[in-house]
Chain A
Amino acid sequence: MSTYILKRFLQLIPVFLGATLLVYFLVFSLPGDPIVALFGDKPVNEAVAAKLRMQYHLDQPFWMQYLLYLKSIFTFDLGQDFSGRPIAAVLGEVFPVTARLAIMALIFEAFFGIVFGLIAGLRKGKLFDATVLIFSLIVIGIPIFVLGFLLQFTIGVQLGWAKPTVSSAATIPDLILPAIVLGLGSFAYVLRLTRTSVIENMNADYVRTATAKGLSRFQVVRVHILRNSLIPVITFLGADLGALMGGAIVTEGIFNVPGVGNRLYRAVLSGEGPTVVSIVTVLVLIYCLSNLLVDLLYGWLDPRIRYDS
């Protein structure tokens, strides 16, 4: 097992290098001069511009810039963003907010998706099943920014049940509505995945055998249907954690959440290469780690899968 985990961590190295190189290259290729853009409408002061270019290594060729960036990572000095704040501090500020949001969304989609999916699967073809299926189709069908604005307006503005925008502290109560919006799409997938999986397992031979043992319906469902059905769902949820972290841009924009998505969006617009690459690299690492976690969970849930030997 430990060799397996070590191997997986070693695999992170090329993924890390590849991701940073690719993102760095993309930012480098963005049209326009970020330093000129900094001056806005004012005339460009060539001396200041040259100094800034040197400070951010923008006067170097691409490879040099990339290598200097790598060096800064390994010396734990990520440099500064255009407003002069250390990038490390920026990361430390925005990631906790988005992590809180993503985990809340994950809890929401996992709990409701699995519960509704289980009930729908057990009552296949009945009213509850049909209703939930149609609802999930609607949720999947409507783009997240439409859903986001809709819920913000009805629940936040008209009904006043939740704050329509998030304060700069981004507390947990603040984030409930954004988390639901962020998790809705995946909730529909989790629901459908659970439902399909439950239906499949209900007809499995070992479920019939379990019933023949004299187990009650509840025991059969809990012990034999639920655990087996959760294996594919857990896989999805783990991979989704990474997607939620990176995919929160739209939701964070709608609710003005001071998180990763918001900051990344601004950094892309202003062409702040080091900031963009730093944020994306952390996102890539989170994605890789959550996938590793899923694979380990998978082995724990399904004893047929073993990573050593």
Chain B
Amino acid sequence: MSASVDFQEAGYATERPLLEIKDLAIGFTTSNGEVNAVRNAHLTIMPGETVAIVGESGSGKSTTALAAIGLLPGNGRVSAGQILFDGEDISNASEKRMIELRGNSIGMVPQDPMSNLNPVWKIGDQVRETLKANGLPSGPDDVAKVLSQAGLPDSASRAKQYPHEFSGGMRQRALIAIGLACQPRLLIADEPTSALDVTVQRQILDHLDKMTTELGTAVLLITHDLGLAAERADQVVVMYRGQVVESGPSLELLQNPQHPYTQRLVASAPSLASRRIQAAKELGVETDDMLAPSETGVVEPSKTDEVLQIQNLRKVFKLRSGLGKSTDFTAVDDVSFSVKRGTTTAIVGESGSGKSTVAQMVLNLLAPTSGKIIFDGVDTSTLNSKDLFAFRRRVQPIFQDPYGSLDPMYNIFRTIEEPLRTHKIGDKASREKKVRELLDQVALPQSTMQRYPNELSGGQRQRVAIARALALDPEVIICDEAVSALDVLVQAQVLNLLAELQSRLGLTYLFITHDLAVVRQIADHVCVMEKGKLVETGSTDDVFDAPQQEYTMALLNAIPGAGLMLPPEVEVA
């Protein structure tokens, strides 16, 4: 699992492919008849090779991989084509044959470490049953060995713990241990790190690389991130709406994408885009056209004043620890920064860094333990209820989950109109006109008004959320992971929309995210948070070009796609 071309060594080319998928079609029986999730899929994995399937949600990438290990959900089946594992067609193999192959010959590392371990059994038990089912020695020492090979320290005592006592990264290591416990010849890794923090992602992927290289395991890597795929795999297969649209050696595919979808993907993948900006800067190329159009034609005179000043902000939560006792947990510790009008400031950090707590305090949804938030010269903690109502009009949020943040019982018109009605703005006719304008602004057709959230895609919903935030003509918008739940191309569209709205309306954004790649594209200033503290702050260029703190460097290095820049001759740190 390495981007290097070592695997092309003599010998491999003449061998029989380990996995060969030919003209594969997978259908799902639904109440509306049979739906084809995958059509004419084909891919080949040679022994020891890493092949990545890249695609957005619903592209059929996971379905294809699950078919290869015979784990399609109950209503799905292979309707045509072949899956040849070491020459044997297993597309319609008996369950008995599949049980023989699973674990032993084909292993799997699933996506979500939180839900893929059984919560009621100890980690060691879950490893042991894997060894036992495949006829391998399964004593405590064997279990500990498997776990320690997956990079779990103190594995003998860790094996006696339950999944909920593990962090996400440790659980993923346990799942990797399970997937590789029987040294299978093929490992299916379905988004193995997408639920983890970026720095942990990198460690886990590096370790997986090392193990599969040592064992000579072939890997089928499923990912939505083209940068990650190109960095980790020898071959990349791009899937779009159930079909393979393009495949080939990763570097070649990245440098010379043929299919329009791949071209768009190469252009939009945040990891690649941010690397590209970085590379171009080092070549001295003008990068403005690569950045989202954020700083053109902004309302000039107010540009310098600081609309938000955060001073020594602290938030301490009391954690209950039984029998009325409590311990203090400092979620936000002495954070100070300021936001200039009409600019975008990003707060970056991993889960637990306190970034969302800051956002909630700025929104005045959570009272700070100490410190001040000064909005337009006024300390927000001193606002009375009337002033607070006015404040809410000027500061609006956009949240992460486009599925959870819209009321499913409200149609889109009512959703966007609600803030106008709450703040008693205009009459019925003028509010409807305003909603129409807002829909235009976020590039949704006006017919959307009568629809309900469940009829819209994730990207469309997030546009509705943006329209709702804009309804009151706010000055500041707090985006809490506003694009994290979206597919890459949709993410790029929404980011562009946000940037365009900023230049048109002079908006100020406070952008909370864990994704530095997105920051590079949209932010003017960056605040890096770690464990409640602000570790580094500066202009985006400064932070990316010359990070001062080790933690920032680690975050930057964790953006996938290092070392495979476009143009490729540019060396990137």
Selected from A209, A219, A303, the residue in CB contact (under 8 A) with B133 is: A219
A213 touches B120 (CB 8 A): no
Q: Which 5 pairs from chain A and chain B are nearest by CB?
A: A214-B103, A214-B102, A212-B108, A205-B115, A213-B130
A83 within 8 A of B: no
B118 within 8 A of A: yes
Which of A209, A219, A224, A303 is most buried by chain B, counting CB atoms within 10 A of its CB? Answer: A209
Interface 1/0s, chain A 285-308, versus B by CB < 8 A? 000000000000000011110001
Closest to A230 in B: B120
A208 within 8 A of B: yes
A213 touches B102 (CB 8 A): yes
A217 touches B178 (CB 8 A): no
B69 within 8 A of A: yes
A39 within 8 A of B: no
A309 within 8 A of B: yes
CB contacts (< 8 Å) of B265 on chain A: these are none
B112 within 8 A of A: yes
CB contacts (< 8 Å) of B164 on chain A: these are 303-304
Question: How far is B324's CA from A3's CA once the two chains are assembled, in angstroms?
Answer: 13
- How distant is A231 from chain B, measured CB to nearest CB, in Å? 8
- 11 extra interface residue pairs, beta carbon distance < 8 Å, beyond A212-B71, A212-B107: A204-B115, A205-B112, A209-B108, A210-B118, A211-B71, A212-B103, A214-B101, A216-B99, A216-B133, A224-B118, A224-B121
- What are 21 of the A-B contact pairs (CB < 8 Å)? A203-B73, A204-B115, A206-B119, A209-B108, A209-B117, A209-B178, A212-B69, A212-B71, A213-B134, A213-B181, A214-B99, A214-B101, A214-B104, A219-B133, A223-B118, A223-B121, A223-B129, A224-B121, A231-B120, A304-B164, A309-B321
B118 touches A213 (CB 8 A): no
B116 touches A215 (CB 8 A): no
Question: How far is B182's CA from A303's CA once the two chains are assembled, in angstroms?
Answer: 28
B99 touches A302 (CB 8 A): no
B110 touches A208 (CB 8 A): yes
CB contacts (< 8 Å) of B103 on chain A: these are 212-215
Selected from A3, A215, A303, the residue in CB contact (under 8 A) with B119 is: A303
Closest to B66 in A: A208
B residues adjacent to A (C-beta < 8 A): 69, 71, 73, 95, 99-104, 107-108, 110, 112, 115-122, 129-130, 133-134, 162, 164, 175, 178-179, 181-182, 321-323
Closest to B121 in A: A223
B162 touches A213 (CB 8 A): no
CB contacts (< 8 Å) of B108 on chain A: these are 209, 212
A206 touches B322 (CB 8 A): no
A227 within 8 A of B: yes
Selected from A3, A210, A227, the residue in CB contact (under 8 A) with B120 is: A227
A196 within 8 A of B: no
CB contacts (< 8 Å) of B321 on chain A: these are 309
Question: How far is B119's CA from A301's CA once the two chains are assembled, in angstroms?
Answer: 10
Question: How far is B118's CA from A219's CA once the two chains are assembled, in angstroms?
Answer: 14
Which of A206, A208, A216, A219 is most buried by chain B, counting CB atoms within 10 A of its CB? Answer: A206
- How distant is A8 from chain B, measured CB to nearest CB, in Å? 13
Question: How far is B122's CA from A308's CA once the two chains are assembled, in angstroms?
Answer: 19
CB contacts (< 8 Å) of A227 on chain B: these are 120
- How distant is A137 from chain B, measured CB to nearest CB, in Å? 24
Closest to A212 in B: B108
- How distant is B106 from chain A, measured CB to nearest CB, in Å? 8
Q: Which A189-244 residues sit within 8 Å CB-CB of chain B?
A: 203-206, 208-217, 219, 223-224, 227-228, 231
Closest to B320 in A: A309
A3 touches B323 (CB 8 A): yes
Question: How far is B182's CA from A193's CA once the two chains are assembled, in angstroms?
Answer: 37
CB contacts (< 8 Å) of B178 on chain A: these are 209, 213
CB contacts (< 8 Å) of B175 on chain A: these are 209
A209 touches B110 (CB 8 A): yes
Selected from B117, B133, B179, the residue in CB contact (under 8 A) with A215 is: B133
Question: How far is B119's CA from A248's CA once the two chains are assembled, in angstroms?
Answer: 38
Which of A205, A217, A304 is most buried by chain B, counting CB atoms within 10 A of its CB? Answer: A205
- How distant is B237 from chain A, measured CB to nearest CB, in Å? 21
Which of A215, A219, A228 is most buried by chain B, counting CB atoms within 10 A of its CB? Answer: A215
- How distant is A211 from chain B, measured CB to nearest CB, in Å? 6
A213 touches B129 (CB 8 A): yes
Which of B99, B108, B110 is most buried by chain A, counting CB atoms within 10 A of its CB? Answer: B99
Question: How far is B382's CA from A13's CA once the two chains are assembled, in angstroms?
Answer: 48
- How distant is B159 from chain A, measured CB to nearest CB, in Å? 14
CB contacts (< 8 Å) of B117 on chain A: these are 206, 209
Closest to B135 in A: A214
A219 touches B323 (CB 8 A): no
CB contacts (< 8 Å) of A206 on chain B: these are 115-119
- How distant is A263 from chain B, measured CB to nearest CB, in Å? 42
CB contacts (< 8 Å) of B162 on chain A: these are 303-304
CB contacts (< 8 Å) of A304 on chain B: these are 119-120, 162, 164
Closest to A304 in B: B164
CB contacts (< 8 Å) of B116 on chain A: these are 205-206, 208-209
Given contacts A206-B116, A209-B178, contact A215 B129 (CB under 8 A): yes
Which of A203, A213, A216, A224 is most buried by chain B, counting CB atoms within 10 A of its CB? Answer: A213
CB contacts (< 8 Å) of B110 on chain A: these are 205, 208-209, 212
CB contacts (< 8 Å) of B134 on chain A: these are 213-214
CB contacts (< 8 Å) of A302 on chain B: these are 119-120
CB contacts (< 8 Å) of A211 on chain B: these are 71, 102
B102 touches A212 (CB 8 A): yes
Closest to B110 in A: A209
B95 touches A217 (CB 8 A): yes
Given contacts A213-B102, A213-B130, A214-B130, contact A308 B115 (CB under 8 A): no
Question: How far is B100's CA from A139's CA once the two chains are assembled, in angstroms?
Answer: 44
Interface 1/0s, chain A 67-106, versus B by CB < 8 A? 0000000000000000000000000000000000000000
CB contacts (< 8 Å) of B102 on chain A: these are 211-214
Question: How far is B251's CA from A181's CA once the two chains are assembled, in angstroms?
Answer: 73
Question: How far is B134's CA from A217's CA once the two chains are assembled, in angstroms?
Answer: 14
Question: How far is B110's CA from A210's CA once the two chains are assembled, in angstroms?
Answer: 11
- How distant is B423 from chain A, measured CB to nearest CB, in Å? 43
Question: How far is B128's CA from A214's CA once the two chains are assembled, in angstroms?
Answer: 12
Question: How far is B116's CA from A309's CA once the two chains are assembled, in angstroms?
Answer: 26
- How distant is A300 from chain B, measured CB to nearest CB, in Å? 10
Question: How far is B101's CA from A81's CA once the two chains are assembled, in angstroms?
Answer: 73
Selected from A210, A214, A301, A308, the residue in CB contact (under 8 A) with B322 is: A308
Question: How far is B400's CA from A146's CA once the two chains are assembled, in angstroms?
Answer: 56
Which of B69, B103, B120, B321 is most buried by chain A, counting CB atoms within 10 A of its CB? Answer: B120
Closest to A307 in B: B322
